[in-house]
Structure 1
Amino acid sequence: MSKVRKCLLGCAAVAGALTIGAVPALSAETPAPASNTAASPVAASPYLYNGWGNPPKPGEVMSATGIKDFTLAFILSDGSCNPAWDGTRPLDADKAVIDEIRAGGGDVVPSIGGWAGNKLGEFCQDPQALAGAYQKVIDAHGLKAIDIDIEASEFETPAVQDRVLEALKIVKEANPGLQTVVTFPTLNTGPNDAGKRMVSRANEIGSNVDVWTQMPFNFGGSDMAADTINATEGLKEVLKSTFGYRDAEAYAHAGISSMNGKTDAGETVDQAAFQKMADYAEEKGLGRFTFWSLNRDRPCGGGGADSCSGIDQQPWEFTKIVAGFQG
């Protein structure tokens, strides 16, 4: 997901197992049906950050790649329990971009959170207030889905995790058909202790999250395709043991959000590795396959890390791969 998404200010997504206490006992919950995410903007929607670097025009990218949907970053707190793009721009600031995407037959998913900035989960003091902030974003754009990118202290603090999960339960109940995605850091073996706790608490609370999406990078990987697949298999096993899913159900509730090109930790996700991830995601029927970020999906020409991938490529190669994902 500066980080202003995935740690482009030099921070890394959590790279070691966190010790946030033992995972609570699991409840016996009836397995939920697998989500039909392939028909929603959740499944294949690369991250586009309109407040960062030199953002591309989505209509041009749609024409060049066949991509339809986009995840728009980032909704933050404006210093209170009130949502704003980047914490500073009003919710209608990106209306023209959203209208352009919808006019082309696509749709958008806002990403609420990220690594840097003020997080709504911390500035809203109870689940009802946080749900109200999420609802403002939903209402502003008539949304079908939201992505909660939970990282850093939001992710590492049990009370904040609970607040986010309870708020998601409230908005799911208030908005029938709304899909919810939770995006979070991972180890190369799957969720760390904080991630396992979060999934377990979601089961206990009844949050009904549609897709749990891991960010499999910044953990010192050497074979990024193999490490990503291994991490996702670990997530699948956590979802199975927590919710009682069968394999196919667990995969449908799991997702991958990679980082194209050079990661903040110096790893390399090249086109071949990313295609292997996509093939795996398609084979297993994952609920989501995406990457950070569309802004970076182009060759470097002297620009910063916010405007290119850091590897040899043609424009939009990673986006074209995501466009081929059917879930």
Structure 2
Amino acid sequence: MSKIRTSLLAAAAAAGALALAAPPALSAATPEAQSPIAASPYLYNGWGEPPSPSEVMSATGITSFTLSFINSDGTCNPAWDGTRPLDGQDAATIEEIRAAGGDVVPSIGGYSGTKLSTPCADAQALAGAYQEVIDAYGLKAIDVDVEADEFNSKASRDEVVEALKIVEENNPGLLTVVTFPTTTTGPNANGEDMFAKAAEIGADVDVWTQMPFDFNGTDMAQDTINATEGLKEALKSAFGYSDAEAYARSGISSMNGKTDVEGELVDQAAFQQMADYAEQNALGRFTFWSVNRDRPCNGGDPSTCSGIDQQPWDFTEIVAGFQS
């Protein structure tokens, strides 16, 4: 998601991949928990002094989180950061969130690490790795965060889209999100190619979510709106959606505070403008990277704070207002 975490992920990867036994399935989401897709800020157990999710829920009213990141353990097996087993620390986090009445969306991929599409031989094998995650946690939704080499490789993009079609067919009702980089005017050729592949094979991705940051934005609210309008038009072109359908399949995943690009900054006012736009147009998803950073710095490093003047959980509270 953000290059800020690259060095931390490299250190985690150096710890070595763990052999995974089949984890026991966690309890399914509580019946009162709504779809976790629409408003689920990213929470990352691998860095940045992750806060207690139940405490954040109590303070803000947020009910869902996107937990990151699941990657390859060196083979076609999923592990958190490629090192933490599915039945470990992150499973405990999921239980904590569900015990508080919420739910989760595991995010598969991200900026760093070995993506599952690399060692998994084909779409069927990749779908099997996704299925292992779905079964482990009794999921309602998954997010596949397609970035870096995976986003730049047509073979990898195609494999991801084909695998998502398989898991959708095998898990009726499962919600799927694809998250990917953008330009200030909308998807680039790689993004448009993903849409074309999905339309060609009938992969019914629920929400295509752009990351409007690290893209040399100058007016982050307006650039994000422009990028999302470009996304909406690209989805209409690829799938034949109406405006309303295309907005419902569009998502925004911003970054709070200072981004990885010098001078690029998302403050609370800009983020609220994005949220208002998302609400007015009934977007399918509005989120940000990350809850770990949704705090004032007080001398902390960029993995633990936003770099701007704020109160704890300012951005999470705005996302909570988008819950439906």
- TM-score (norm: length of structure 2): 0.90
Name the amino acid aligned to 1:319. Answer: T
Q: Is 1:257 aligned with 2:269?
A: no
**How far apart, CA to CA, are the structure 2 residues paired with 1:90 and 1:96?**
11
Identity %: 73
Q: Is 1:232 aligned with 2:215?
A: no
**Alignment match of 2:295 (pick from 287, 295, 298):** 298
- State the SS of the aligned residue for 1:122: coil
Match of 1:19 in 2: none
Match of 2:310 in 1: 313
The answer to whether the 8 Å contact 2:143/2:178 transfers is yes
Matches within 5 A, 1:1-327: 1=1, 6-8=2-4, 39-93=34-88, 94-266=90-262, 267-326=264-323
The answer to whether the 8 Å contact 2:71/2:108 transfers is yes
**How far apart, CA to CA, are the structure 2 residues paired with 1:271 and 1:165?**
34
CA shift for structure 1 position 326 = 3.5
Match of 1:15 in 2: none
**How far apart, CA to CA, are the structure 2 residues paired with 1:60 and 1:323?**
14
The answer to whether the 8 Å contact 1:148/1:183 transfers is yes
- Name the Cα RMSD after superposition: 1.2
- TM-score (norm: length of structure 1): 0.89
Deviation by residue 1:270-303 (Cα, 9 ceiling, x = unmatched)? 0000000000000000000000000000000111
Q: How has the CA–CA distance of structure 1 residues 288 and 161 changed in structure 2, closer, same or farther, with 3 Å as cutoff?
A: same
CA shift for structure 1 position 39 = 4.2
The answer to whether the 8 Å contact 1:282/1:326 transfers is no
CA shift for structure 1 position 9 = 5.2
CA shift for structure 1 position 51 = 1.3
CA shift for structure 1 position 95 = 1.7
The answer to whether the 8 Å contact 2:296/2:306 transfers is yes
**How far apart, CA to CA, are the structure 2 residues paired with 1:127 and 1:281?**
33
- State the SS of the aligned residue for 1:8: helix
- State the SS of the aligned residue for 2:224: helix
Deviation by residue 1:211-266 (Cα, 9 ceiling, x = unmatched)? 00000011111100000000000000000111111100000000000000000012
The answer to whether the 8 Å contact 2:5/2:47 transfers is no
Name the amino acid aligned to 1:121. Answer: S
**How far apart, CA to CA, are the structure 2 residues paired with 1:78 and 1:58?**
26
**How far apart, CA to CA, are the structure 2 residues paired with 1:182 and 1:96?**
25
Match of 1:18 in 2: none
Name the amino acid aligned to 1:177. Answer: G
Deviation by residue 1:160-210 (Cα, 9 ceiling, x = unmatched)? 111111100000000000000000000000000101111111110111100
Name the amino acid aligned to 1:155. Answer: F
- State the SS of the aligned residue for 1:299: coil
- State the SS of the aligned residue for 1:200: helix
- State the SS of the aligned residue for 1:120: coil
Relative contact order (alpha carbons < 8 A, sep ≥ 6): 1 or 2 greater?
1
Q: Which runs of 5+ in 1 are unaligned?
A: 12-37
**How far apart, CA to CA, are the structure 2 residues paired with 1:194 and 1:40?**
29
**How far apart, CA to CA, are the structure 2 residues paired with 1:126 and 1:326?**
36
**How far apart, CA to CA, are the structure 1 residues paired with 2:191 and 2:183?**
10
- State the SS of the aligned residue for 1:315: coil
The answer to whether the 8 Å contact 1:261/1:311 transfers is yes
